[in-house]
Amino acid sequence: MKNMILMARPWAPTIDDMLPSLEAILKSKHFTNFGPKERELSDQLCNMFGSKKFPLFSNGHLALEAMMQALPKGEVIVPSFTFASTVHAIIQAGHKPVFCDIDPNSFCIDVSDANKKITSQTKAILGVHVYGTPCDIENLQDTCKQHNLTLLFDGAHCFGSYYKSKPLGSYGDGCMFSFHATKIFHTVEGGGISINTNRMDSDFIDRYRNFGLSSEGEAISNGSNAKMSEFHAMFGLLGLDRFQEELEARSKISNFYRDHLNDIKELKIPNKILGQNHSYFPILVHYKDPLAFKKRKELLHYLKNQNVMARPYFWPAMHQTKAFQIFSNHQSFPNSEEVSNSVICLPIYSGLTQQELESIDKAVRDGMVVISNN
């Protein structure tokens, strides 16, 4: 039986690469609580993004939660096409999520629809750089300036993406990153926030990671335990050294898919956008077809039988989930629903071989013939 081709497989350093750092950490016995590796990684990322600060977290969700906790309580406008973590963080910070639709070309927040959702209770717009694709940054900036709103980004997918020659995470008042093992850059588990303006209370966010404690050890604000360990920071520092290789490998895989799948009329391949990091490769199966959901399910089943793992990422749209439909106000978000019902993300990571890519191409091509004839 053939080995399964996974949708994602993390990069890992060699033992030889790790040994000097491991020995230094073990010798110091400084395993967590803002050690030298954690500070070094934070400083490097701060320089990379031109941030005012770049606090690190034990995972991306807690980074997002800290960013939400730093806001005054109210409504936060967020696209329905996102991951559950985005909405959980809003709710857990005491805000009300207000859903809006997405642009069907970028899969990112539809600024015109977001504008319609602004009320006197709106405190922020939280854009999501889906699949590492930039949101409509200029129009979001104009909207937030006009209404005196904080502009935040869920950049879980966007490490390495650029917009107008600047790293995508350098836009907005703050941008959260996930450094989970499945991401293009990872620390096994981890996350961070690029704090870009004074609208984000960087002192509060720093304290939030450590129980809301002051430097004297007094609990003076809300907090959690969200510190990044030295071992996770070590992984990140090693990963930064070879990140460009990962980026280039994924770009080649993305080009392979575009070249080989672009002629299948029942598939929609999203436009290539300058500055994308190729962290995911989405395809839309029978997009806008009333049977899209059924056809997509059949293709996923066919691919699995051919030892190719793919995911309907994201599905369902958040306003349709059991947890969050209470916030939908019985509204429909057609673009979010149509994309959610038809999207599949194909395997993409630096370890994919040419033979595996050809197997994926054949499986998708053959599978589309089968499901289109059903």
**Average pLDDT over the chain, rounded to whole?**
96
Is 312 found in the same domain as 228? no
For the segment 127-178, what is each residue's pLDDT rounded down to a tens digit?
Answer: 999 999 999 999 999 999 999 999 999 999 999 999 999 999 999 999 999 9
For the segment 320-357, what is each residue's pLDDT rounded down to a tens digit?
Answer: 999 999 999 889 999 999 999 999 999 999 999 999 99
The answer, yes or no, to whether residue 315 has pLDDT greater than 80, is yes
- Average pLDDT, integer, range 311-318: 96
How much is the pTM? 0.96
CATH of the domain at 169: 3.40.640.10
Is 191 found in the same domain as 63? yes
Residue 312: is the preceding peptide bond cis (ω within 30°)?
A: no
**Residue 359 is part of which domain span?**
243-373
CATH of the domain at 325: 3.90.1150.10
Q: Which of 81, 5, 2 is nearest to 348 (CA)?
A: 5
Q: Are 275 and 162 in contact (CB under 8 A)?
A: yes
Residue 19 CA, chain-centre distance (Å), reads 30
Is 222 found in the same domain as 252? no
Q: Which of 73, 133, 66, 71 is nearest to 102 (CA)?
A: 133
Q: Of 213, 241, 269, which closes a domain?
A: 241
The answer, yes or no, to whether residue 2 has pLDDT greater than 80, is no
For the segment 196-249, what is each residue's pLDDT rounded down to a tens digit?
Answer: 999 999 999 999 999 999 999 999 999 999 999 999 999 999 999 999 999 999
Is 275 found in the same domain as 229? no
Q: Is residue 38 part of a domain?
A: yes
Can you spell out the DSSP letters for 305-341?
Answer: HTTB--B-SS-S-GGGSTTTGGGSTT---HHHHHHHH
Is 68 found in the same domain as 208? yes
Number of domain units in the chain: 2
Is 218 found in the same domain as 132? yes
Is 315 found in the same domain as 210? no
Judged by DSSP in three states, 30 sits in: coil
CA pair distance 100, 179, nearest whole angstrom? 27
Q: Is residue 136 part of a domain?
A: yes
For the segment 38-57, what is each residue's pLDDT rounded down to a tens digit?
Answer: 999 999 999 999 999 999 99
